[in-house]
Structure 1
Amino acid sequence: MNNSFQDIINSEKPVLIDFFATWCGPCQMLGPVLTQVKDSLGGRVSIIKVDVDKNQELAATQQVRGVPTMILFQNGQQLWRQSGVLSKEEIIKVILDKIN
């Protein structure tokens, strides 16, 4: 996945990566929130979910220590990262602050 991950984060379009685990309660709470974020922002941002159990090497490379962890990338640069659950409004505000 690493090559395609590099391709994904090198996009001019901002990409929010959600590192999650299927067994993680907060991760399950964050899923519908990210769907609402995507609905609100439409095509302005891509949201990609990465299962840390299936992508342990990638999670280690990105220094993901806990789930959920969200990382916002644009043009290969990490613009923001946050562990834990945020509200739809908080996530949208961060994304808009970082990309505008």
Structure 2
Amino acid sequence: MKSKFLSIVLLCFLFLSCQGQQAKEVQTLDAKSFSEKLNSTPNAQIVDVRTPEEYEGEHLDNAVNMDWFGDDFAKKVTALDKSKPIFVYCKVGGRSAKASNKLAALGFKEIYNLDGGIMRWNATGYGKPSSKVVGMCDEEFDVLIKSDKKVLVDFYAEWCAPCKKMAPYLIKMQNDMKGKMPIVRLDADKNKTLVTELKLDSLPVVILYENGKEVWRNTGFISEEDLKKHL
């Protein structure tokens, strides 16, 4: 009986492990390799799997929007040619990885997923330069961080799962540390100019400033306990 139970547990573990693996039809490429492959592919099929609102804000040339979270994602991809390469991207790479595996399951044979998404694409210099200021400008940000106190800046996004996980304790810290240390939370989607200037290529990002200078930065989820160790 015990042996049978252990066998079932092992099979479940193997199944879950396989579920998280990248399909053999999918190649995850860095921005440079993605760009080179894209430019060498005539009439490339490019799919932006973010929300329509994100797509309207910025997108790669000739990309079509097929929201991974939309109920009609599987239906929309039937308009694509399974015999030709397909290029997939999102904001930071999470949704596009899942979408790429889904496309492989639907029969697509050659799929290229942009590692780090459009954030890393922009941070490495492949995005379109823009003179339009979106959100806080450099001058405003400089005033914000030039304080006689330490300043913690949190860049987040509403769609970002680890950002949501960190939000409750960061909001609590904002209140608890009022007057002692400013904690500023900035929506990356609404402050694209700063995101570009600071070369942020993933989310969440927390940056600690002292006397206007960056002294520490963390990209990705960090627990409240670990964050407080750096303050």
Shorter-chain TM-score: what band?
A: 0.7 to 0.9
Which residue, out of 40, 46, 55, partners 2:182? 46
Q: Shift in Å at residue 34 of structure 1?
A: 1.1
Can you give the 5+ residue segments of structure 2 that lack an aligned partner in the other structure? 1-135
Residue matched to 1:89: 225
Change (3 A) 1:3 1:76: same
Higher relative contact order (Cα pairs below 8 Å, separated by 6+ residues) = 1
SS across alignment from 1:43: coil
CA distance in 1, matches of 2:157, 2:178: 25
| Aligned length in residues | 95
SS at match of 2:179: helix
Partner of 1:57, secondary structure, is: helix
Q: Which residue pairs with 1:66 in the alignment?
A: 202
TM-score (norm. length: structure 1) = 0.85
Pick aligned residue for 1:35 from 164, 171, 186 = 171
Q: Output the CA distance in 2 between the equivalents of 1:87 and 1:80.
A: 15
Q: Deviations over 1:12-57 (max 9, x none)?
A: 1111110111111111111112124335544321110111111111
Structure with more strand by fraction: 1
Root-mean-square deviation (CA), in Å? Answer: 1.4
| Normalised TM-score (structure 2) | 0.39
Q: Which sections of structure 1, spanning at least 5 residues, go unmatched?
A: 96-100
The corresponding residue for 1:98 is none
Please give the alpha-carbon distance, in whole angstroms, between the structure 2 residues aligned to 1:51 and 1:40: 21
Q: Distance in 2 between matches of 1:44 and 1:85?
A: 24
